[in-house]
A and B are shown apart, each in its own frame.
Chain A
Amino acid sequence: MKSQALLTVRKLEAWYGRSHILQGIDLEIHAGEIVCIIGRNGAGKTTTMRSIMGLMDKARGSVHFDGHSLLEMAPHRRYHLGLAYVFEERRIVPGLTVLENIRLGIIASRHRERERHIIDEIAETFPRLQERLSQMAATMSGGEQQMLAIARAMAADPKLIMLDEPSEGIMPVLVDEMFELFTKLKKAGKTLLLVEQNVELALSIADRAYIMDQGSMVHHAPAAELLKDQAIQERYCSV
């Protein structure tokens, strides 16, 4: 009934060393959707994203993205297929300027000859960064660094952007700004996978949501439906 999914995850298992974290999860994302994963701390949300990006010690099952099988592929090649990941801890590179951090996102991509143009576009989308391009990135506030991490991940025009708790520890004004950006991105045809503790806000912009617990997907429904379901929210999302 639906067109083929952009990302299809089947029976995905993953390990940190010898700890078996993901217990065989299924996940599907269609082009143009905002999909959200919610669940308590330690449920395995970050591990899910890291597995899709190829950063786990060991993973089994299948991950298909835009017609390619990812499981055996190095992370940098997944990026070139159009898969971007914003770490929970942001990972702004200290010792580099804001501009240099953004350039890292373009430098190895097929867009690198258009670097100047892309930077101008990003500056337009992120006015807060525009004023600070030559500033050392590490001296910015947490919220600004998060914006930078998102800008850097978008620089090479990815098809799917995975964002791990982007609103964590950020001033409310900036959170609103960030979520407005997400809706804009969706309108522009981007696809987002979002992990959020700010459940209501996330569900309000998402199309669908997965609920995760102890390394498994325990429930999955349209976001609007979950938004009304207080019982489920309390059972799986209260911290």
Chain B
Amino acid sequence: MELSFSLLVQQLFIGLALGSIYVLIGVGLSLIFGLLTVVNFAHGAFYMVGAYVAVYIFEKTGNFWACLVLVPLAVGALGLATERWLVRPLYGRGLDYPLLLTFGLAYVLVDSVRMIFGVQGEHFSTPELLQGTVDMGFGPFPIYRIFLVGLCATLLLALWLFIEKTRLGLIVRAGSRDPLVLKVLGIDVDRVWLLIFGIGTALAGLAGLLAAPLRGVNPEMGGPVLIEAFVITVIGGMGSLVGAIVAGLLVGVVVAMTTLFQPELAELSIFALMALVLIVRPNGLFGREGLMS
């Protein structure tokens, strides 16, 4: 295999596509941590549930686009229920209570899925419309991965517009700095936290669906993803959205490039990247000044 410029560019794109999935996971985790100061150990499990909900809906409808709409809604609803009845009673008790709770919830979700779908895992094929490759000037490129990058970019744009341009977004930005002041200005902070937890878990579920054609579906798929998501938030800076985006893409590209040269080191490379970033910037690339920095 000759190492050509076009191969490098191709691999860079593959990295960006993988990074897009990381970004969705990392942004959700970061939103939840940045606003609720909840370290969500169930984030990987929500991702896994997303993939299984996709399997189920695809079985019933045979329609990938229905999955695309219904998976985030279903996983988001599960997230809403989790926040409302499990996480909310633990606010004000420090970081460890919600951490342990979500840690336990992850096990419950994984075991429930094992009981319902079995332990053997499922196959999820790329939707017909998105199969095949196109030539983008540097060799053939899988359409599904272009779709991933496009979808992720669109969602991030929507999220950015929501946070920067809407009333609710203003509340979210203020809440990431000083929730107390919101309370005395008439804002029901509990409802805002509920919404954020819902959005964060919906993004995790969507990421699970999108990863399914690439990585397959099994009850344990959330484990490595949780670790990757934490690495991303640490690299980007805990609680920073921009940090999660940059770090997610960076991790995707580093994994893709390492895979090209030394596939057996791909797993290790993201930890090396994290160590490197932490040596240079102990608070991560974007520290934590606020949600949008």
Contact = CB atoms under 8 A, between A and B. Distances in A.
A53 B184 contact: yes
Interface string B257-293: 0000000000000000000000000000000011011
Given A96-B174, A103-B170, A107-B167, A91 B181 contact: yes
B177 interface: yes
Interface string B209-228: 00000000000000000000
A156 B177 contact: no
Interface string A67-105: 000000011100110001101000101111000100111
Contact of B187 (A87, A91, A96, A108): A108
A85 B184 contact: yes
B293 A104 contact: no
Range class of the B interface residue count: 20 to 34
A79 B171 CA distance: 16
B59 interface: no
Interface string B161-194: 0000001001101100110111111111100000
Contacts, number: 72
A209 to B, nearest CB: 24
Interface string B152-166: 000000000000000
Contacts of A85: 184
B188 A74 contact: yes
B170 A55 contact: no
A104 B184 contact: no
A45 interface: no
Given A103-B170, A104-B181, A107-B170, A95 B187 contact: no
Contacts of B189: 76
A76 B177 contact: no
A74 B187 CA distance: 10
A104 B185 contact: yes
A76 B171 CA distance: 13
Contacts of A55: 180, 183-184
Contact of A108 (B181, B186, B290): B186
B183 A75 contact: yes
Contacts of A94: 177, 290
A4 to B, nearest CB: 25
A102 B161 CA distance: 20
A127 B173 CA distance: 26
A55 B293 CA distance: 29
A122 B107 CA distance: 53
Interface in A101-115: 103-105, 107-109, 112
Select the residue from A84, A107, A156 with max chain B CB neighbours within 10 A. A107
B152 to A, nearest CB: 25
A152 interface: yes
Interface of A: 53, 55, 74-76, 79-80, 84-85, 87, 91, 93-96, 100, 103-105, 107-109, 112, 152-153, 156
22 contacts: A74-B188, A75-B183, A75-B184, A76-B182, A76-B184, A76-B185, A76-B186, A80-B186, A87-B184, A91-B180, A93-B174, A93-B177, A93-B181, A94-B177, A94-B290, A95-B173, A95-B292, A96-B173, A103-B167, A108-B171, A109-B186, A152-B185
